[in-house]
Amino acid sequence: MPVARVTPPLESLSDAAVVALAQTGAEPAYREILTRYERPVFSLIFRMVRDRETAEDLAQETFIKVLNNLDRYSPEFKFSSWLFKIANNLTIDHLRRRRIDTISIEGAPDAVTVESARATSIAVVSQDQSPLEELESRELGTAIEAAIAGLRPEYRACILLRHVEDRSYEEIAEIVKLPLGTVKTYIHRARHELRAALGEVR
């Protein structure tokens, strides 16, 4: 009697294995990709554009483009970096067409708990601060928002990927499709511009 082949659940498979199944047209694999990356992609885009409806539209456009171009994906590259590259390109194009004014320090809009909000925010307040010190920190946070918003889109993408998404320089270079040296230069210049913009505040 032949032994039935047991197919492991999609949740237990690596990205590469799920993508390989999706490339064969397996619809559950498409859904698994969406499940894994819908929230991270939306959160990154939202931090860039600061508008929920726009972020939702760009995230949807990202996944349409990803699914339509899966046959072009090469497993020699990290899938998440390839996906974020598409999201970043679409967002940068949007930012170039329409300038965005602010970037919030309060965390991603899909954060449903205090802990998740804290994890996706840019921290400027210490738990040991007095009310006056906390107010001063909040004022500094507002200045940080304005300073980040003032960066050119390419600098903004690199600084957010580095300091909010905690991506390595190599991953950032792959995502934004720029040489490693250029990414380091962008981040250095972004930090310099942020320090200059925040100099008077501090």
> Which domain, by its residues, includes 101?
12-198
Residue 43 placed within a domain: yes
DSSP-assigned letter for residue 13: S
Q: Which of 22-36, 104-118, 139-153, 160-174 comes out lowest in average pLDDT?
A: 104-118
Task: Report the C-alpha gap between 158 and 164 in whole angstroms.
Answer: 10
pLDDT > 90? residue 76: no
Look at residue 1 and tell me if it is in a domain: no
Higher-confidence residue of 65 and 120: namely 65
CB 147 within 8 A of CB 198: yes
CA distance 4 to 199: 68
- Distance between CA atoms of residues 145 and 165, nearest Å: 17
Q: Do 78 and 110 meet the contact criterion of CB atoms below 8 Å apart?
A: no
Q: What is the pLDDT of residue 134?
A: 46
Mean pLDDT computed over 34-47: 89
Average pLDDT over residues 11-27: 89
Q: Are 143 and 201 in contact (CB under 8 A)?
A: yes
Q: Is residue 170 part of a domain?
A: yes
In this structure, is residue 3 part of a structural domain? no
Measured distance CA(200)–CA(170) in Å, rounded: 33
The rounded distance, in Å, linking the Cα atoms of 94 and 116 is 27
* Residue 191 confidence (pLDDT) above 60: yes
pLDDT of residue 183: 94
Whether 174 is covered by a domain: the verdict is yes
Please give the single-letter amino acid code of residue 23: Q
Cut 0.75: pTM above it: no
Given this model, what pLDDT does residue 200 score? 57
Computed over every residue of the chain, the mean pLDDT equals 77
Confidence band of 108 (pLDDT split at 50, 70, 90): low
Confidence of residue 119 (pLDDT cuts 50, 70, 90): very low
Q: How many domains does the chain have?
A: 1
User: DSSP string of 85-147?
Assistant: HHHHHHHHHHHHHS------SS--TT--SHHHHHHTS-----TT--HHHHHHHHHHHHHHHHH
In a domain, 4, yes or no: no
- What gap in Å lies between CA 40 and CA 174, rounded to an integer? 17
Give the number of other CB atoms < 10 A from CB of residue 74. 7
pLDDT tens digits for range 125-180: 444 545 444 444 455 556 776 777 788 888 888 988 888 778 899 999 989 889 99
Look up residue 26 and give its two tokens: 């397996």
CATH number of the structural domain spanning residue 185 = 1.10.1740.10
